[in-house]
Every structure is written in structure tokens, then in C-alpha cells.
Structure 1
């Protein structure tokens, strides 16, 4: 069974999730934006073995600590989609612009695209390319757990910003309608910021995409 624990990190209050297979205790960390000591302390407390870093996109609050974590713990960085390479290259500049500790740029061990899958232990999550907030944004979905990690595509009561470089509002709306909604209303999701919700709740009441 897929398990997860979410830690709020960075001054931007970003949801960093540790996901693991309860049969093998192999784990991945999704979007380690910063505060690595806290993340690693939680990994130790949970008693899981960190095997990979999964990224939804390459904004500083989601990817700022990925390079350091990969280097210090010999972990592969998986994702996002290659269209976010320009943001990965700009991570040092992003960190200085927003007052974060100096971030490392990197090349992911594996890029992700629509229709791919990632695995941790016995658990498989499907990957969907969901551009709009960034051009290379992806989400991770476990059909077995009816659970999705959606980064900054959708929030409880809101949607991702599209005023950053290469953001596209219509593309974001299309990603939500064509990629998220078909996963089913009962699907619970962990957004990049703020509380969890379900696709049914957001489809019914979110002022930006409600009724779509």
C-alpha cells in the first residue's frame, strides 16, 4: 500500500511529500524545495529508505534542495518534463532572487512525459504532463490509492499562477480539465501549497474551474 507524509517547507509554505511502499519501506521525496535537515529527520523517523527524488516542476520552492539532496545521498532526480530545463538552469538565480539558500542546477537522471510511470517498492504512480503553471509541470497519480500529487496545478479553492516565465493560463485550465478531472472525483490530491482536497470538491466549488 502507498503511504505518504507531507512536510511544509520553505518560506513559501510548500508541501513536500515523502511517499513510500509499506511492504518494502522504499521511499521517494516529492518536491524537496528546502529545509533538508527537517525532511531527512522525518525520513529517519518514519523508518523508510529514500530511493529517489520526484519533481513536479522546477520552481525554487519545489526543486531548490533537489540538487544537494541528490548529491549528498546519491539519489536519482526523476522529472519534471524537459520543458522545465530552463528553470532548472535558473535555480541559482531563483534562489538569490527569493532569498533562498543557494540552489544547485542539475540535469535530472530521468525526464518524465505524459504516459510515463514511476515506481517505489511495489507501488506504481502514473505520470501526466500538465503544463500551464510551468511548461514542464507533471503530476503523479496512484490509481490504487485514489491519490494524486499535483504540485502547483490545482489548489483547494484556487489554481496555479501563470504569470511566471512561460506560464499559460489557458494551458493550465486545459491541463486540469483534460488530465485531472478524468482521474475521478473521488481522487484526493496533495497540492503544492495549502490543504488537501478532492477533484469532485474542486470541480463543484472552485471559482476558477468549478463547473468545468
Structure 2
């Protein structure tokens, strides 16, 4: 376990997605989690404010609002991009995970609906562990929002488990399943088998909106239920 003393976050892009910086201390190595569309407008100043040195980019899933700046961040800081293997196609073909309404927005941002992959992509296998910036990051595979959707879990020696839940679970809600690649039945299984068993003390840091805890979501999130089988 590592005593996490710094988890910084900021909101990026038209979909107001959260980008996180994970570090053990000011002035240390860090992991950039989910640098979405427009993240490079804020990311350099966030890193500088805490004197952080990126060693990797980690993605919870492949939707453009979470990966839109992954290539630029990886190239600028010369670090690999860790992507759930089942969502790797979305790094270069984002429309495979989006509805048609998003095409004009991608054209506005990137001048194309197809993108170049980051220079170095590390395929993340379901439920695998990766040692980055001193953390043991566990990618909990929780598909349904996208085929590769994952939650990134680490354990803080003082505060207990922390889960960056991507678009799997939010405060009071869960991820949508009506986009290409989404599957409501698969999501229901993920919520029962991956999310529900999380310890009540788990701090949840979602891909959109504010932080919450598993205890709060178990008590009040209408989409979470104990397994029925």
C-alpha cells in the first residue's frame, strides 16, 4: 500500500469529464488518468502546480471525452498510454463508440473523425495489475458502458481503497449503455459482480461529477442492487 497524499483533478472538454493526477507526494512521479478532449489546456499547469513528473497515462475506457488528449499527453511527456485492450480501437476510430451526433464535434476539435493512436500503447488485460508511480493499479474490468470499461483501484494506507470508476458508476447514477458498444445486460452484470462487492469504505472518483463513497452509493444509488443469483 502507498499513502496517497495527492489526487488532483480537473474538468475537461465539452462533456465535462474528469482528468485525475495520481501521485504519492508533491514533486513526485504521477499517473495521468483520462486526459480527455481539451485536457492539454489545463494539464501542464496542473502538473507544474504540484511539481509532478508523468510516468504514464492510464485510461478507464476509450470514449473520446476520456482519451481525447491521450496521444498529445503521451507524446509531450514521452510516456506510454495504458488502455483497456477491448477499447483500443476507439483510440483511432472514436466514432465506433459514439452516436452520429458526435461527428461534427470531432471534426471541430480534430479536423477528422479518425485519429492517430498514441505513440506507445500498452494493452491492459482485464483485471490486470500495473505498477506505476509507486502504485499498484488494478484495472477492474466492468464492461457494459463500453466493452473495455474498467475501474482503476488502488489502496491508500491511511484512507483505504480508492477507485477511479470511469463511466461505470457515478454519484447517484451509472454509465449509459445506449451508445455503440454499450450493453445493458452486460452493465447489469458488472454492477452486480464488480461494483456491488466493493467495500463500503471505498472512495469513488467518477469520470463525471463529484466524488462519492461506496457506502453512499449502496444506500442511495437506484441502479445498484445486491446480486439476485
**Structure-2-length-normalised TM-score:** 0.84
Q: Which moved more, 1:151-160 or 1:201-210?
A: 201-210
Q: Deviations over 1:7-28 (max 9, x none)?
A: 0111111011011122871101
Q: How far does residue 176 in structure 1 lie from its aligned partner after superposition?
A: 2.0
1:128 maps to 2:143: no
* Match in the other structure for 2:104: 97
Task: Mark the runs of 5 or more structure 2 residues left unpaired by the alignment.
Answer: none
Q: Which of 97, 109, 112 is the aligned partner of 2:124? A: 112
Q: Which moved more, 1:144-153 or 1:156-165?
A: 144-153
Q: Deviations over 1:16-54 (max 9, x none)?
A: 101112287110110000230311110011111111100
**Residue pair 2:196, 2:226 contacting (<8 A) in 1 also:** no
**Residue pair 1:64, 1:91 contacting (<8 A) in 2 also:** no
Q: How far does residue 163 in structure 1 lie from its aligned partner after superposition?
A: 0.5
How many residue pairs match? The answer is 211
1:69 maps to 2:80: no
* Match in the other structure for 1:140: 152
**Residue pair 1:78, 1:112 contacting (<8 A) in 2 also:** yes
CA–CA separation in structure 1 for the residues paired with 2:219 and 2:77: 43
1:179 maps to 2:188: no
* Match in the other structure for 2:176: 161
* Match in the other structure for 1:203: 218
SS in 1 for 2:30: strand
Task: Mark the runs of 5 or more structure 1 residues left unpaired by the alignment.
Answer: none
* Match in the other structure for 1:16: 19
**Structure-1-length-normalised TM-score:** 0.90
**Residue pair 1:65, 1:104 contacting (<8 A) in 2 also:** no
1:84 maps to 2:87: yes
